[in-house]
Amino acid sequence: MSESTPAIILDCDPGHDDVVAIVAAARHTDLLGITTVAGNAPLDRTTYNARVMRDLLGLEVEVHSGAAGPLVVAPAFAGYVHGESGLDGAELPEPTTPLDGTDAARFIVDTIHARPGCHLVVTGPMTNIALALVQDPSIRDDLAGISFMGGGTFGNRTPTAEFNIWADPHAARVVVDSGIPLIMAGLDVTHQFQATSDRIDRVRAIGGPLATVLSDLFTFFSANYRERHDDLEGAAVHDPLAVLALTHPSLFSVAERFVAVVDSGELTRGMTVVDRRTLVDRPTPNCRVLETVDAPAAWDVIVEAIAAARG
Ligand code: RIB
Ligand code: CA
C-alpha cells in the first residue's frame, strides 16, 4: 500500500497518462477534486475524458473545468500523440455524472483553504494553477506543495521544452517562481517508466471494463510512441509519477535543484533550466527533482490500483 495518503487536488488534461494518474490518485490519495485544463486536447475534450474516468472508477469526486487556453501564447494541443479526442484507442462509456463547475481556479482556491496541508498535483499545462495564484496568493500559506509532471533537461515538444511547460510557459513560470515547495517529474524520470507490451498484458489480464479500456488506451499510446521514437519500447507514462512521488516516495531518487522556466525564444520557449552545478555558491534549490524511478515496482503499484478499482 502507499507510504502516505496525501489530500490532493488533481489538475489534468486527460490524456492517456493523465488517466493513469487519476487511477493512482483514486487508490492512494484523499482525492479532493479533479480540475481540467486544455492541453492534450481542447478543454471540452479533456473535461469529457475526466468525467468518463470518474464514472468508470465510480468516484464520488467533483470535476471542475478550467482554462480553455494559455495565459499569453496561442492554444496548442497534442492530437499527434493522444488523438483528436485526447483519448483515442478505446471504446469509452458515455459519462453520466454532470460537471460540477467551470471555474477551476476558484475551486482550487476554495479547496486549498478548506483543507490546509493539501497538495496540488498538476499533470497538464499550469494555467489553472497560475490563475489560482493570481486570484488568491494566500493559497501559498495553506498549500503543502505542488507535485507536477513537466519539464526536464531535454524536451519532447521542442528540443528544449516538454509539452506541459511549452503549452503555457508563462503559467509555468508563475508556478515555478512562486516559492511553493515543488516536486518535478520531468522527462528524465518519466521516460524510464514505459508501457511496454508485457506491462500492458499484465493490465489486460486483470479483466473487467476498466482494465480493458486502459489496456486498449495503453496499446494505442505505446504504438504512437514506438512509431515516433527509435529508442522507446512503449509510451512514457508520465503523469502518474507526479502522484506516486507523494504516495510512494521510496520508488524515486531525488535531487534538490534550482529550476527556472524560460517563457520565450524561438528555441527556448518552455525550457526548464535545471541547475545541476555542484558549486558551493549555486542558487538555493526551489524544487525536488525526481531523477530515477524503480519502474517495475511503480508498474506493480499501477496494476494493483487498477485491480482494486475493478471492484
Ligand atoms: O509531455 C508529457 C505531458 O504532456 C504529459 O502530461 C502528457 O499527458 C501531456 O500533457
Ligand atoms: Ca497530461
pLDDT tens-digit series, residues 67-125: 999 999 999 999 999 999 999 999 999 999 999 999 999 999 999 999 999 999 999 99
pLDDT at 1: 75
Q: What's the CA-to-centroid distance between 281 and ligand 1, angstroms?
A: 34
Assigned domain for 74 exists: yes
pLDDT at 4: 82
Please tell me the total number of residues recorded for the chain in this structure: 311
248 included as an active-site residue: no
> Ligand 1: which of 12, 16, 17 to mutate, judged by most atoms within 8 Å of the beta carbon?
17
User: 24: domain CATH number?
Assistant: 3.90.245.10
Assigned domain for 1 exists: no
Q: What is the dihedral of CA 196, 197, 203, 209, to 10 degrees?
A: 120
Assigned domain for 273 exists: yes
Q: What residue's CA is closest to ligand 1, atom 1?
A: 163
Task: Check 16, 28, 119, 238 and give the catalytic one.
Answer: 238
> Tens digits of per-residue pLDDT, 167-219?
999 999 999 999 999 999 999 999 999 999 999 999 999 999 999 999 999 99
Provide the CB-side half-sphere exposure for 217 (13 A, CA). Answer: 24
Percent of the chain with pLDDT over 70: 99
Average pLDDT of the chain to the nearest whole number: 97
Q: What residue's CA is closest to ligand 1, atom 2?
A: 163
Assigned domain for 2 exists: no
Asked if residue 261 lies in contact with residue 152, where contact means CB atoms within 8 angstroms, the answer is no
Assigned domain for 241 exists: yes
Question: Number of structural domains, the chain?
Answer: 1
C-alpha cell, 131: 490563475
Q: What is the dihedral of CA 25, 29, 32, 34, to 10 degrees?
A: -10
Q: What's the CA-to-centroid distance between 224 and ligand 2, angstroms?
A: 16
Q: What's the CA-to-centroid distance between 22 and ligand 2, angstroms?
A: 11
| Residue 311 pLDDT level (bands cut at 50, 70, 90) | low
**Which residues constitute the domain of residue 37?**
7-308
Assigned domain for 189 exists: yes
> Tens digits of per-residue pLDDT, 46-68?
999 999 999 999 999 999 999 99
Asked if residue 123 lies in contact with residue 11, where contact means CB atoms within 8 angstroms, the answer is yes
Pocket of ligand 1 (CB under 6 A): 13, 15, 17-18, 39-40, 78, 123-124, 149, 156, 162-164, 238-239
Query: Pairing between strand 182-185 and 143-149?
Result: parallel
3-state secondary structure of 263: coil
| Residue 137 pLDDT level (bands cut at 50, 70, 90) | very high
pLDDT at 35: 99
pLDDT at 2: 81
